[in-house]
Chain A
Amino acid sequence: MTVESHQASTKLTRRGFLKATGAAVGVAALGGAGATLAGTGMQTAHAEAAEQTFHSGCRGNCGSKCHQKVTVRDGKVVKVQAMDYPDGDEGWRRLCVKGQTQPQRQYDPDRVQYPMKRVEGTERGAGQWERISWDEAIGLIAQNMGAALQTGGGTSIGFMSSYASYGVLNGATGGYMSFAYGRFITAAGCTVLGACSDYAQMHVQMLGFGQNGNSADDVVNSKTMIAWGGRPDESDVHIWHYVCDAKEKGIPLITIDPQFSSTAAHSDWYIPIRPGTDGALMLGLVNYIAANQLEDADYMRAYTQAPFLVKDDGTFLRMSAFGVEPVQGGINPMTGQPIIIDTPAVFDEADGTIKALGTEQQAAILGTHAGADGTSYKTCYQECLDNITEYTTARASEITGVPEEDIVKLAEIYAQGGVWNLGYQGLGHHVNSHHNYKNLALLHAQTANYGLPGTAIVRNTSPFTGISNYMPFMYGRMGANVPSMALPDVLETKMWGQTPVDLQVLWVMNGNPLCCESGRLEMIEAFKKVPFVVTADVSMTDTAMYSDLVLPVPHVYETEDYDSGCPTPYLMYFQKCVDPLFESKSDIDIMRLVAAALQMDAIYADGPTDGDFIKQIVEAETTKQMGVTYDMLASGEMVRSPLSPVSHVEMKIGNSEGERLKFYMETPTPRIVIGQEVADYEKRPYFMLANEAYWDNPLRSQYPLLGCSEHAKYHVHSQTAFTPWLRELEPEPVLKLNSQDAADRGISQGDYVRAYNDRGDVVLRVLVTDGIMPGVVGIPHGFREDQYVSGHAQNLTSRVMNDFCYNNSYYDFLCEVERYEGSVE
């Protein structure tokens, strides 16, 4: 049977949601189960049936991971509330506007209901689907995977994921960290096509420097809060009440943002800044603080890399250079390898000699110092300062558009200490972004704004420690680790580094890259070149539309899972509340079937039930002494992580090398090493212009507007794109355009506009506002193709990445906007 495509239904839906009765139209058009009742607008009556509650949560992964109390009546989920937290922990209780809509998302007309195959002879993306059985679907997969394994080996099967739906059974953290996918990928040596979003921050700040922040309730201990590269009001609303507590204590809030967010509206000082220039502002502040000796020298000496001496090759002078044998200092818990301690040398101002860190009276943080053999070394701080002299406050002002006197004022606030930065990934969406995290680290190092109460370099999204042991995910090794946006290159060269990657099968799970990631049009073309594309998803995503086979997976309430991420002190276990709807099967059940069809059953043999696998995570040799059992989690009680005994977490800072605040990368290592050259500047705080979106780019004569976007309050990736209540609040995507830019183009409030550049275009309604800087446009994130009049917001963006951290650059584009005269019907 040929099924009228989901694309048709969602096209109806786009129009429909603009009318009050839209959702019913969408359901009726689907022709699926329950359509008639909803189509008439009638509902089953409230029954006096018994209710049952379950403990589940949001797997959407905005980072908040809200524990939810889910009420089931007559076999259906009818209510979602925030789980109650024990006394003293109420501040971590959380549920947002999107959480309130979960019953609608679960019973969404947009859900994939049964396995579907692209109709033979139709173009990929044409939207013609044939309903098939699971047997046929698994048969097709086995046939394609089997052939790929024989001809191209494991790397010819690629698994692509993003950040949606974390979980140790069915999720795909890091591309393969789950039983469902990790076992298969590592057993067959497949290619992982991992997400690129947020890697500027993750590669430098989180993994490179190991920096994190105090838990959000610490903001009340600060002197000044700065929302720089983040808007807690929208993208992390659950920490906002702590910000309010601090404001009520009289602690000022400053917002640095190209857009006047709600956080900005609540701020004492709003500083608009040109997108992509934050790094220059940071260096302007650093230089002003250094030039005026406003540093906290004692802090820099004691707790940062500032006094370390740098050799000509950029590495630190260490005591092995003076014949001191390195010693072993325990085992690195991440690598399992011994930690070798080769103590850095510092220059002691007390006696003018170079000696081992920890033996000096007063280490120099500035200057060039000669050792006994006459060789001179700069301190690390001096080395950094000498390379950023160009960025004076005047130059920073030119680049950022922030008045020089404001930069001076901000520097003086920073220098007073007690600065708590509420920002996060907003600094991370340009090609030049990863430098921001080095620059910010240097600024916070100068001003003692890290590792002390009431300070933070970044808000901590996951301050508490969960219980996990990732080893059971592995059955061998992955074949190749490719950043997902490099897909077009891999298809072209059939190589990744030195590894042959002849992709025959592409499997997309836990993500909707053709909607949510940048460089969309190039990625679609790449998808079309892969012989066989499978998407496993809850709903009919843009990515599913460009697949050959679409597999229905359950909503979080329909399967059990466990997520070791712990943004609150309680372990995130998801109880199964109802059976999977329609014909959906969990990712792990699908992979069990695929493995069986390929005679690879052995890889899942130790987990006949899902619970057996979760047991391996929490009751492993390394974790069982914590005392948490699978049965405790499965009971549905709130189980506190024994690793997080207190509700308030502060980063620790110390004098040993490993405990110090880092802003310098002694041996900068790319996210994925494939023999690429690493530029010298990767070591140091640095500024470079964005790839495309910078003020003096000659391309602005053609495309004058700089891109920008946000993690908006009604969206988590594209997961709530069609959720009816959210679309009542925000019916359609809008492009934010400054009032002056609109007037210059003859555009009025409510008009439809076309935004375009050489890559592509999008037609959508405009929101004319003074809440965005002149010269900047804000594109929506999280709407799907059919919700635009035509095109897609991500058609404007590029997949240009640096090969150091392979980061999505969502904001790094220029475009022009014109009034759209065509029909929007």
Chain B
Amino acid sequence: MSDKPHLDEEALAELRDVMEDEFEILIQTYLADSRDRIRSLREAQEAGNADAFTKTAHSFKGSCINIGAPRLGELCLKAEMAGKESRMEEVPALLDAIESEFQEVTKGLDGLLVR
């Protein structure tokens, strides 16, 4: 499906360096934000609102790239493009993929925090 890793270790190391004590807060913020976004994507899909779907996918993509979750970012980009081009029939499969990838990212990030 994609050769991008679940987590970009190098980017996360840099973030940890920058954020110092706030690294954990950042990760928790990202995870909470992402759960909200996935809910928003579902709602937009159910409402058939392609525009809201596109915008949310776009923002979600930005924060995934910043946090160092490139594979999830790529899935968001695909969702954004599908929404933009009104290929809503592709959306349910993409949403499933996003949710399952988010599980992976959550697991990985949790692991980082425990270490």
> Are A and B bound to each other?
no
